[in-house]
Amino acid sequence: MNNKNSYIKEADMQPTVVAIAQDNDQLKAVMLKKNNGLFEIIKTQSSDLSRTNWQTFAEEFIGHVKDDQDNIKLVIGYDSACMIFYHITVPVVKDEKLDALIRLQVEARFPLPVEQMAFAWQIIRKDHKQITVAIAAARKEQLQNFLADVSVLKPAKIILSYEAIAETWKEFFSVRKQDALVLDIGHYRTDVCLVEDDRLSNVTSLDIGTNDFLEDRAGTADRFDQDMRSILENFGFNTSAQLPVYVLSDGRDVINEMASCLNFTGLDVTTILPKTGKLSAPGEIQTSDIYEYRLVIGLAAMAIEPACENINIFEGLYNPKQKASPQLYSPKISAGIAVAMIILLIFVCYFTDVARLKALEKHFTSSKERAGCSILLEQQKIIKEVAIDRPDLLEIFGYLTRDGNNGVLLDTFHYKKGQPVTIAGQVGNDEFLYKFQENLLTKKGLSKVRIQNAKKQEQGEMLNFSIIFDYKNFTKKK
């Protein structure tokens, strides 16, 4: 790309994507479109953050096509180095119950109170027994500070930088579809991305980069090796022989040397240069250009592909189709860990009881020695009936914590067979309370949702309230 600031506009082309992200101490941008199976780089630009800001940089980059905004899809990359990533496994449940089940497990792991955290998840693997889920979590304040800088641009999407690196690897570095551990080495840190089934599965960052290596080769190489072995183990791999390890490279000696140090200690690591076959540009395209803009190229490629899903950590905090408004949504349950344990216990007991009954029936119906088994089978059938008669607390919990309950903080949840469910908490004002009631009335299985009381707190503007409602047949007296 000899002229990085050249711009070509063709009216008959499909919509163009502009991607902007912070990369080290710079803002970088690319304008990309897909034409005849090729990603065409129309324009690239970079600028030191000390000399610009997000809004100024975006306006300068998009330039005279600003009035033609309908033809441009803007996406922003979020530097995800300060986020938490991990895997959990949950039993196979119906889709509408999965979010509540995941939420119970995730919130117990948060390092901060629930109301201070945001998270998003994506299914990585699923079989007939369990579901493996990738979780991304961050402080809400951290995300809101970022939105204060970029929401004025009204991006169509905000995508995690780690996901963009995984997309860049898949589209412009990898020679074939494969699971791999991908290393993106920067000046001061190295991002380690586990790519499985063409998507980001797990990720972590090391505070080791090219600058550290140039200052202290021996010490950095030793730390690099130890950290990589720990990461492989944490990701579930004993050695790199189980998973190919690739280092994204532009051919510089320092990156090749860092990869060689890992090879010297026994890890199987390969440096890999970007491929130019899927990209085109007005001038001659260089591998060094692709490498320099690899982050924003990956962001743009994700936005162009309609089937490309991403982990939306900003859901509930940012909606490109709506004006920004303050969010009071902060659902919580007092003694949350205790509630989570109770719900999970009920959930697990039900499936254990039913499974055990089926196994016993299979064994005893095929056995010639049935004497003495009738009592045991009868006991198991009673257990099954009790399990099936338990309330679906996951469903109720999902109703109380999903979108639409803004401004509501839940403090207590009380359930007893044959009695209405009672919840109590705090709400910002009467309007939020009535909307909460209306939202519950729309939920399948809930009926007779009544506000019992609503009283303004002695200090502050919040209202204390309690609501009762019937849930299916569980709250009816026999």
Summarize pLDDT for 443-460 with one digit per residue, the tens.
Answer: 888 888 998 888 888 777
Task: State the amino acid at position 93 in one-letter form.
Answer: V
CATH of 10-81+119-175+279-327, one of 3.30.420.40, 3.40.50.720, 3.30.70.100, 3.20.20.220: 3.30.420.40
Per-residue pLDDT, averaged over 356-361, amounts to 45
Which of 138-142, 205-209, 253-257, 282-286 is the least confident region?
282-286
Q: What are phi and psi of 289, to 5 degrees?
A: -70, -45
Residue 373 has pLDDT above 80, yes or no: no
Query: DSSP character for 152?
Result: G
Instruction: Please name the fold of domain 336-471.
Output: Gyrase A; domain 2 (3.30.1360)
Domain with CATH 3.30.420.40 in the chain: 10-81+119-175+279-327, 176-274
Residue 337 has pLDDT above 70, yes or no: no
Per-residue pLDDT, averaged over 257-269, amounts to 86
Highest mean pLDDT among 28-32, 332-336, 349-353 belongs to 28-32
Residue 334 has pLDDT above 60, yes or no: no
| DSSP per-residue codes, 21-89 | EEETTEEEEEEEEEETTEEEEEEEEEEEGGG--HHHHHHHHHGGGGGGGGGEEEEEEE-GGGSEEEEEE
Paired residues of 182 in beta bridges: 193, 246
Q: Residue 184 — very low, low, confident or very high, per pLDDT cuts 50/70/90?
A: very high
CB neighbour class for 297 (10 Å; exposed up to 12, middle 13-18, buried from 19): buried
- Predicted pLDDT of residue 387: 44
Q: Are 240 and 192 in contact (CB under 8 A)?
A: no
Domain with CATH 3.30.1360.100 in the chain: 336-471
* Tens of pLDDT, residues 45-69: 999 999 999 999 999 998 744 444 5
350 or 126: which carries more pLDDT confidence?
A: 126
Q: How many CB atoms lie within 10 A of CB 382?
A: 12
C-alpha distances out from residue 227 to 204, 223, 232, 255, Å: 11, 6, 9, 17
- Predicted pLDDT of residue 61: 93
- Predicted pLDDT of residue 343: 43
Provide, rounded to the nearest whole percent, the portion of the chain with pLDDT above 90: 35
Q: What is the mean pLDDT of the chain?
A: 79
Q: Residue 477 — very low, low, confident or very high, per pLDDT cuts 50/70/90?
A: low
Residue 175 has pLDDT above 80, yes or no: no
Provide, rounded to the nearest whole percent, the portion of the chain with pLDDT above 70: 77
Residue 200 has pLDDT above 70, yes or no: yes
Burial 46-72 (b: 16+ CB within 10 A, else e): bbeeeeeebeebbeebbeeeeeeeeeb
* Tens of pLDDT, residues 5-18: 444 444 345 679 99
Per-residue pLDDT, averaged over 404-430, amounts to 78
Residue 319 has pLDDT above 60, yes or no: yes
- Predicted pLDDT of residue 154: 92
pTM score: 0.67
* Tens of pLDDT, residues 97-135: 888 888 888 887 887 888 889 999 988 888 888 998 889
CATH number of 176-274: 3.30.420.40
C-alpha distances out from residue 296 to 12, 248, 279, 300, 384, Å: 24, 15, 14, 6, 55
423 or 385: which carries more pLDDT confidence?
A: 423
